[in-house]
């Protein structure tokens, strides 16, 4: 069977499972829709968190960027992994103990203000729509190659699938679908990695095999490009940018609403901690393999160029296949072109999907990787769309516009909002402001600059006030969003070149770090100059952090 045939086979089987789960887990109340009735086992929730976490950026784009950027591309690996540890240790158990459905719910209650709730809901929409744009771009990349359709129709097909199980099953359906999707994506990622590692080195473990491949890759890159693949801080990625992007990704992780809400789906705080453990284990399986996949792909491409040159590469089937999608611009190839010029014609987002073809693996493996890429993109997209629906239906409509609305009305509003969110997300996927991982990095920057400070201060500082939180969120969000638009005006606004090349030498993916610092400063200063929170709010903060707050008479007798 051909690659296309195997792709249809795997996609048909996996999508049938996803839709079947959505129908089986259809919910009729808001508790089931928003937090799956808080009845998800910790192991299953850990797998769902991992699937939510490992989006198209992790599966499709991260290894591609590491492959092209070398050492500097590790910022994505370090930022996202370190950020998850930060989330699991610093925030998740406390937020679970608070017991609300959404991050805006936490902000509204902790900061005793509907205005704060609305600002948080708007920030959640900014983050979620930016993030989901990357997922829809990933879906389009997969379908455009393996189902032989235009990238626009690829996005439309993905929109139809994800809207079906997100609208039907809510968080319950999404959770169990994501368990299945994690299984598919991790198998699809590891099988070709093991096969390529064994083919290149005779060692089946990619993590060990890359030790043999790296010296050969360094030599090839030096011969063709004049620098070493493992050399740090090349080009515009100096030490400052590596630090700022890593820090933005880490703290943005701890402020991602679609990941935080996952810890509300378990019964107890201890289950939230175990969910974090299992999620880190499941995430590590892919993240510890991604650098090896990146190096293998880079080695194959440079080695082919070294042996055949650009004219010879035009005869390779994988190049011809991907050229049909427009994701390799072979029309720009010419006699005597340099390796750097050739690499600039290859879209970073195709690397993981194309590597099995480059390595001449079996057609069933190539098709399985396509199914894995779709699982990664759609699993995260569904979680993000639920955040969009809940922000509009629960935090704005249900809490402010019509608090007395019955459950079934709120549920209908949430489903309508998700459907509208799918349409907007699809448009953003068709016209994205960058590569998948770049777009996702922008979402992390927005989350870092808006949510992280007010969540951390809300949990650990009783004196933090509603005025401080509102001012801080608006400052961080507006600053970061404006800077990203100005620095990516060529993609976002369709201009010929960016309005601003950098801010204090920091690129668009790292500017969220500055926004976060401004958020902290503004929140603290405004809080200190406004009346302290009510006594019951301060007691609530203590109850979040400690097992039990002693009564006044117990304190006196202690």
Q: Residue 475: is its pLDDT beyond 90?
A: yes
Q: Report residue 451 as tokens.
A: 């949510």
Mean pLDDT, range 180-202, rounded to an integer: 90
In a domain, 440, yes or no: yes
Highest mean pLDDT among 147-151, 213-217, 491-495: 213-217
Q: Which structural domain range is residue 459 located in?
A: 3-553
360: left (phi over 0), alpha (psi -120 to 50) or beta: left
The more confident residue out of 466 and 64 is 466
Distance of CA 449 to the CA centre of its chain: 16
Distance of CA 321 to the CA centre of its chain: 28
pLDDT digits (tens, 9 = 90+) for 328-354: 877 777 766 677 777 788 877 788 888
Query: How much of the chain is helix, strand and coil, in % rounded to 5?
Result: 80, 0, 20
Highest mean pLDDT among 43-47, 489-493, 509-513: 509-513
pTM of the model: 0.78
Mean pLDDT, range 541-551, rounded to an integer: 65
CB-CB contact of 526 with 465 (8 Å) = yes
Highest mean pLDDT among 69-83, 131-145, 212-226: 212-226
Mean pLDDT, range 522-534, rounded to an integer: 95
CATH at residue 320:
1.20.1730.10
pLDDT band at 556 (very low <50, low <70, confident <90, very high): very low
In a domain, 209, yes or no: yes
The more confident residue out of 550 and 181 is 181
Mean pLDDT, range 504-526, rounded to an integer: 93
In a domain, 172, yes or no: yes
Q: Residue 111: is its pLDDT beyond 90?
A: yes
295/210 Cα distance (integer angstroms): 7
In a domain, 327, yes or no: yes
Q: Residue 476: is its pLDDT beyond 90?
A: yes
In a domain, 192, yes or no: yes
Pick from 38-47, 214-223, 412-421: least confident: 38-47
Domain count of the chain? 1
pLDDT band at 553 (very low <50, low <70, confident <90, very high): very low
Mean pLDDT, range 522-543, rounded to an integer: 92
In a domain, 558, yes or no: no
In a domain, 20, yes or no: yes
């Amino acid at each position: 069977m051909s690659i296309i045939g195997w792709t249809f086979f795997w996609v048909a089987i996996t999508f049938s499972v996803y839709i079947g789960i959505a129908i089986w887990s259809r919910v009729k109340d808001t508790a089931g829709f928003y937090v799956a009735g808080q009845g998800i086992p910790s192991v299953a929730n850990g797998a769902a968190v991992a699937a939510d976490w490992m989006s198209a950026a992790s599966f499709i784009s991260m290894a591609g960027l590491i492959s092209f950027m070398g050492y500097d591309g590790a910022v994505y690996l370090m930022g996202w992994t370190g950020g998850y540890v930060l989330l699991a240790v610093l925030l998740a158990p406390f937020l679970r103990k608070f017991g609300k459905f959404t991050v805006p719910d936490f902000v509204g209650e902790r900061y005793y203000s509907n205005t704060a709730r609305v600002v948080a809901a708007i920030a959640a929409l900014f983050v979620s729509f930016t993030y989901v744009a990357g997922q829809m771009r990933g879906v389009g990349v997969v379908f455009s190659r393996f189902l032989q359709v235009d990238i626009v129709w690829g996005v439309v097909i993905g929109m139809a699938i994800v809207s079906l199980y997100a609208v039907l099953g809510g968080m319950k359906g999404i959770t169990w679908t994501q368990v299945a999707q994690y299984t598919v994506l991790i198998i699809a990622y590891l099988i070709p990695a093991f096969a390529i590692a064994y083919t290149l080195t005779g060692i089946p473990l990619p993590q060990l095999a890359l030790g043999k491949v790296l010296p050969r890759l360094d030599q090839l890159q030096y011969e063709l490009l004049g620098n070493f693949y493992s050399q740090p801080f090349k080009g515009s990625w100096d030490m400052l940018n590596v630090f700022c992007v890593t820090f933005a990704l880490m703290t943005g992780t701890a402020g991602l609403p679609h990941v935080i809400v996952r810890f509300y789906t378990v019964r107890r705080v201890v289950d939230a901690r175990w969910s974090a453990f299992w999620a880190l284990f499941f995430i590590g399986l892919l993240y510890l393999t991604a650098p090896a996949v990146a190096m293998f792909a880079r080695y194959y491409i440079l080695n082919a160029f070294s042996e055949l040159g650009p004219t010879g590469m035009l005869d390779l089937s994988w190049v011809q296949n991907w050229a049909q999608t427009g994701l390799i611009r072979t029309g720009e190839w010419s006699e005597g072109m340099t390796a750097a010029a050739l690499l600039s014609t290859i879209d970073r987002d195709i690397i993981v999907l194309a590597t099995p073809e480059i390595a001449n693996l079996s057609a069933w493996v190539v098709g399985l990787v396509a199914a894995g890429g779709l699982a990664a993109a759609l699993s995260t997209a569904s979680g993000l769309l639920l955040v969009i629906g809940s922000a509009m239906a629960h935090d704005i409509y249900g809490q402010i516009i019509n608090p007395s609305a019955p459950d079934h009305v709120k549920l209908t509003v949430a489903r309508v909002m998700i459907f509208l969110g799918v349409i907007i997300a699809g448009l953003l996927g068709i016209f994205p402001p960058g590569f998948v991982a770049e777009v996702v990095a922008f979402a992390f920057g927005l989350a870092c600059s808006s949510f992280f400070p007010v969540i951390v201060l809300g949990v650990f500082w009783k004196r933090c006030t509603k005025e401080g939180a509102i001012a801080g969120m608006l400052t961080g969000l507006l600053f970061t969003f404006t800077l990203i638009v100005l620095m990516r005006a060529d993609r976002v606004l369709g201009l010929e070149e960016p309005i601003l090349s950098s801010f204090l030498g920091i690129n668009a993916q790292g500017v969220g770090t500055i926004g976060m610092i401004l958020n902290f400063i503004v929140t603290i200063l405004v809080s200190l100059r406004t009346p302290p929170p009510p006594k019951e709010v301060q007691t609530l903060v203590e109850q979040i952090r400690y097992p039990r707050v002693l009564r006044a008479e117990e304190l006196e007798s202690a």
